[in-house]
Amino acid sequence: MNVQNADLNGKPIVISTFAGCGGSSLGYQLAGFRELLAVEWDDNAVETFRLNFPDVPVYHGDICKLTSEKCMELAGIGYKELDILDGSPPCQGFSTAGKRKFDDPRNSLFMEFARLLKDLQPKVFVMENVTGMIKGYMKQAYLQIIKTLRECGYKAKGQVLNAMYFNVPQSRERVIIIGVREDLGIEPNHPKPQGKPITPRMAFKDCPGDEVKPLPEWMKEAAKFMDAGNYNHVHVLKAFLRVHGKSAGSQNTKLLSWDRCACTLVKSEIASTGIIHPDRERYLTIMEMKRITSFPDDFQFYGNRKAIVSRIGNSVPPNLMKAIAEHIKVNILEKANERSQTHS
């Protein structure tokens, strides 16, 4: 068996857990990988995934009920044949937007990822999560996660990467943990920044038209007291209180600047909240959201605006994962293949 991959077409192979609508999957595809299986339980996410990746098998259900034997059967692989196991376990329990409870039951889904990792023994794993997991007392949870991953037989290293340095027109920091199976003898490492941030002015150039969601009149007035590109919550809160007399929704409201990289997209638009277009008259269109998260214009989403915003906000930006996957392919998988040939 070739150490680099088990794909007869010469492409490295990947299984994506917690696949969502396919942000990571698209990144791997753009990097020249072939996805053997996607694991996702959310109905809308699965519908969206299947619209865009009709040839990728999907396990539509609870990962807790997916045995490693069934996983290998669905993917058509054997023990140690997989190149990458990818996963973004639900992160609400670690999120800085929440209370960051160490024992949040949603954090336990990480253990399901670790279970499959231990049983499948891929050459590499990639795990993405929010930066809240390395802040304050939650860092203890992060250290336990790293310890658990290493006990599965891997050298593991985490690093904070900001998507805006990887051809994504959005500032979005995430912890990326990369692990390499110990017997391969290669230290895990991360990609270097690839370029300067892309502004909305550049990202929205020639953007196709789409359904517009206008601002309510009070929000138009509040926007006059916001500095475009100032994503500080206190700044927005003052504008809300000055015009509306209420703070509700200020946490999820930002005003983009034409010439500063966009903020992280929120996963929901609660009442009259959301990301405001630089012209201060409306919220971003779905097409503009796709642009600043690096989804291609022809990527299809299923459902209404609420569902689509949730899908986009929860997704790993495709171009960020593309950069990670390309880096792993060249700096880990190809090196492992070369070492295998040298010792054979």
Residue 97 backbone dihedrals phi, psi, to 5 degrees: -80, -15
Q: 311: left (phi > 0), else alpha (psi -120 to 50), else beta? A: alpha
**Which of these, 37, 41, 42, lies nearest to 55 by C-alpha position?**
37
Helices 305-314 and 43-52: crossing angle, nearest 10°? 80
Q: Is 171 exposed, middle or buried (0-12, 13-18, 19+ CB in 10 A)?
A: middle
**Is 21 among the residues known to form the active site?**
no
Between the alpha carbon of residue 33 and those of residues 26, 75, 188, 265, the distances in Å are 9, 14, 19, 27
Cα(89)–Cα(313) distance, integer angstroms: 15
Rounded Cα–Cα distance for residues 163 and 159 (Å): 12
**Closest Cα partner for 117 from 158, 142, 82?**
82
What sign for the dihedral angle of Cα 261, 266, 129, 71?
negative
The catalytic residue among 21, 91, 152, 263 is 91
Contacts of 10 (CB under 8 A, 6+ apart): none
229 vs 27: CA distance, rounded Å: 28
Which positions ≥6 away from 331 have C-beta within 8 Å?
Answer: 189
Task: Please give the Cα distance from 193 to 148 (Å, whole number).
Answer: 28
- Which residues belong to the active site? 91
